[in-house]
Amino acid sequence: MTAQTRPVDHELIQAAAHVARTRCRGDNHTMAAAARAQDGRIITAVNAYHFTGGPCAELVVIGAAAAQGVYELDTIVAVGDRDRGVVPPCGRCRQVLLDYFPALKVIVGNDDRVRTVLVADLLPESYVWADHQLDAE
């Protein structure tokens, strides 16, 4: 693992924190995510909790981005409601994010210790779905 330091997109954290503070309600919506598109736009979303496996905010943001015509994301961050700050992606989201955006940057850590890492660094020795498709070139 490299010790490379990447800049932290604080505007992106603020966007997610704003959505977490103003849009999360009750038990159904407790997390917000913000993603920076390649063109600089910020897309935000909240999770849709359900006991059957409702999607995390990071997954909802992928669909929200696509609905706006954004199919490439540069950086993503998730922030918890009730001032919980930056929350790292769960295992499922790490896998999905890696498969969708192999070069994605993810903001992790809390308060003054936030940092930007590559999604691949959050999932070492990972299963790469595309490598196991029979029609892969």
Enumerate binding residues for Zn ion (CB under 5 A).
Answer: 56, 90, 93
CA dist 108 and 104 (Å) reads 13
Known catalytic membership, residue 11: no
Residue 77 Cβ vs Zn ion, minimum distance, rounded to whole Å: 13
Which one, 12 or 56, has the nearer CB to Zn ion?
56
Question: In the complex, what is the shortest distance from the CB of residue 31 to Zn ion, in angstroms, rounded to a whole number?
Answer: 8
DSSP E strand stretches across 17-125: 31-37, 42-46, 73-80, 85-86, 105-108, 115-118
Count of CA atoms in the C-beta half-sphere (13 A) of 107: 28
Q: Which is nearer to Zn ion, 93 or 119 (CB)?
A: 93
Residues 128, 50, 28, 80, CA torsion sign? negative
Number of residue whose CB is nearest Zn ion = 56
| Token digits of residue 63 | 């669909």
Quick count: other Cβ atoms within 10 Å of Cβ 1? 7
Per annotation, catalytic residue among 11, 58, 72, 137: 58
User: Which residue, 39 or 55, has its beta carbon nearer to Zn ion?
Assistant: 55
Q: What's the closest the beta carbon of residue 2 comes to Zn ion, in angstroms?
A: 25
| Identity of the residue, 15 or 62, whose beta carbon is nearer to Zn ion in the bound complex | 62
Residue 93 Cβ, how far from Zn ion at the closest point, in Å?
A: 3
Enzyme catalytic residues: 58
